[in-house]
A and B are shown apart, each in its own frame.
Chain A
Amino acid sequence: MAILEFLRGAVRQVFTGGKGYKAWVAVLLAMIGIGLFGYSRQWQEGLIATSMRDQVTWAFYIGNFTFLVGVAAAAVLLVVPAYVYHWKPIKEVVVLGELLAISALIMCMMFILVDMGRPDRLTHIMPGPGSPNWPSSMLSWDALVLNLYLILNLTVVSHILYRAYRGKDYVKWFVVPLVLFSIPAAVGIHTVTAFLYTGMAARPFWNAGILAPKFIASAFSSGPAVMIILFQILRKTTAIEIKDEAIWKVAELMAYAMFFNLFLLGAEIFKEYYSRTEHLVFTQYLWEGIGEYRALVPYAWLSLTASVTAFLIFLVPKTRTNWVTLNIGAVLIFVGVYIEKGMGLVIPGMTPDTLGEIYEYRPSATEWMVAVGVFGLGALVFTTLVNVAVPIMMGTLRAKGAPVVIQGAEAGH
């Protein structure tokens, strides 16, 4: 069957690559190995192998999950101008954005899986064998929308690539509505994840309306930063052609998102410090420390400095179009938002805990190992998918007898 042939061709392509590719894959496999080792310890001992306790019951794993949902949602940033404004240069790279979203979603689900006390009971969350808590549980909603978004992206990407593999154009009436739907879907996944936190009255740091808009803003600030760097790597290592304007346009849109993110942060800070209620204690723990408890303070200020610097770099056209400063900015905003979503959101939300106790959490060795493994897995998924997608898009990977037609770009490029 044609599909089987496509899959076989794709799998074969996964094992194709030069020295650099093989070395990179070896590194990722090593990371996955570390992750498996860490997780085996956690599987045997229980989650006591982490540093999480009743006082700080969500930490590194959930922080990474939250950040990666943002990355997955940010793929949409590339869809919006491409399909809404029919801007040519971006169309050819949308597929790569969706592949990043798929990889990020797989990492999200892996982080949830390793955080669960009973992953063997995963079926309990599914309708049928399980009993999902509709409509009140935000985690039930999150499970649904994340899977839906994953299926959506997989469908669009595999359709485009399969059609291209067979030398045909994608079916517009099938793809375009799905892609247009993925815009609100992306906003949806990150909003539902934000609502997971917002809905908890027990955690005043999270129980704020500003959380959902802030999540969207920080997602759109940081997710595309990954794309910017990846596109530059792909331009050098593969035959893919991505116009400079495409990258600069992405950077410009990110600048607006960064401004919004910083504005929302400012609004939060004002509310806490001006009204000075008991709830100030969480914000204080993050930015000033409380008494001897100051573990997060350097990270909070590092994150802010990185985010502000990146914003300025991306705002000013001169620095935005300079590759050196642009890349520095991309790394800075990635670091800034990564810290903000993990240490700047999850930990202060739980410190002090609901009975006023401060437990200073630091990830344990097991958590580091497992996280390394999950990132390795995500990177491996992305690498292999890109390694298949790019030749297809370039026309170098085709079914037998299929015409060499390059999807999206002019022929003879």
Chain B
Amino acid sequence: MTCPRWRALLPLALAALLAAPLAATAKSPPPPPPAPVAAPAAAVDSPPSPNLIRAEPPPFTEGIFPCSQCHDKAGDATPRQLAFHDEIQAEFHHGPPTRFCLDCHDNGKRDFVHLIGGALIPFTESYKLCGQCHGDKLRDWRVGVHGKRTGMWNGQKTYYLCVNCHNPHNPRFKALKPEPPPIRPQEQGR
């Protein structure tokens, strides 16, 4: 007696059966690779509006910046009195007594400051660092309510970084000498 014909088809059927899921998967396009995560469009972290020009660069000390000239690798992170940067240490008054340089300055890359999560911030965007603690000031500063702007009220304005007005190591404004008072009415005239 000869093999029935359908028996010859069995391996084919089996293969088809096995291939089916494969074919199915082969047919649908592969899922696209995950897109690069864009920076969240949160108001806090976006740069100042396009109509703004920065008035001055950050107040780099002559001969000191870039810091990487001396600091090419991470150093001792222990909070302590340093042997260098005396002038800054002498005037330092910003926050509680436990404050240490590396709270703001990055240990590994000294040409940057860092946020609490470790993100590196260039000195030209140091307001992001200030805004971590002084969020209300940052929000006000972004729209010109805090700080100073000059130029055109309806056009291009010049803005100032936090550090252009506030010494980051001793931010509170010092008292200044006032301009002379007005002349009293009885002193006006011949």
Contact = CB atoms under 8 A, between A and B. Distances in A.
Interface of A: 45, 48-49, 53-56, 359
B185 A48 contact: no
B189 interface: yes
B49 interface: no
Nearest to A364: B189
Nearest to B186: A359
A53 B185 contact: yes
A209 to B, nearest CB: 31
Nearest to A50: B189
Contacts of A49: 189-190
A54 B185 contact: yes
B185 A55 contact: yes
A140 B185 CA distance: 29
Contacts of B189: 48-49
A48 B186 contact: no
A49 B190 CA distance: 8
B2 interface: no
A71 B37 CA distance: 89
B188 interface: yes
Contacts of A56: 185
Contacts of B190: 45, 48-49
Interface in B171-190: 184-186, 188-190
A49 B184 CA distance: 16
15 contacts: A45-B190, A48-B188, A48-B189, A48-B190, A49-B189, A49-B190, A53-B185, A53-B186, A53-B188, A54-B185, A55-B185, A56-B185, A359-B184, A359-B185, A359-B186
Interface of B: 184-186, 188-190
Q: Is the interface of A mostly helix, strand, loop or mixed?
A: loop
Q: Is the interface of B mostly helix, strand, loop or mixed?
A: loop
Nearest to A357: B185
Shortest beta-carbon contacts, A-B, top 10: A53-B185, A48-B189, A359-B185, A55-B185, A53-B188, A359-B186, A48-B188, A54-B185, A45-B190, A48-B190
B183 to A, nearest CB: 10
Nearest to A47: B189
Nearest to B188: A53
Contacts of A359: 184-186
A327 B190 CA distance: 43
B126 to A, nearest CB: 42
Interface centre among A45, A48, A53, A359 (most CB of B within 10 A): A53
Nearest to B184: A359
B152 to A, nearest CB: 32
A54 B189 CA distance: 12
Contacts of A53: 185-186, 188
A347 B85 CA distance: 64
Given A53-B185, A359-B184, 13 more contacts: A45-B190, A48-B188, A48-B189, A48-B190, A49-B189, A49-B190, A53-B186, A53-B188, A54-B185, A55-B185, A56-B185, A359-B185, A359-B186
A48 B185 CA distance: 10
Nearest to B187: A53
Contacts of B185: 53-56, 359
A159 B184 CA distance: 54
A48 B190 CA distance: 8
Nearest to B185: A53
Nearest to A359: B185
B158 to A, nearest CB: 34
A331 B146 CA distance: 66
Contacts of A45: 190
Contacts of A48: 188-190
A365 to B, nearest CB: 11
B38 to A, nearest CB: 55
Interface centre among B185, B186, B188 (most CB of A within 10 A): B185
A398 to B, nearest CB: 56
B54 to A, nearest CB: 39
Nearest to B189: A48
A49 B188 CA distance: 10
A353 to B, nearest CB: 9
Interface centre among B184, B188, B189 (most CB of A within 10 A): B189
A60 to B, nearest CB: 15
A53 B187 CA distance: 10
A18 to B, nearest CB: 45
A55 B184 CA distance: 10
B182 to A, nearest CB: 10
A53 B185 CA distance: 6
B91 to A, nearest CB: 39
A56 B186 CA distance: 11
A54 B190 CA distance: 16
B186 to A, nearest CB: 7
A29 to B, nearest CB: 29
A55 B186 CA distance: 10
A206 B91 CA distance: 57
A347 to B, nearest CB: 13
Contacts of A55: 185
Contacts of B184: 359
B107 to A, nearest CB: 56
A359 B184 CA distance: 9
A222 B148 CA distance: 61
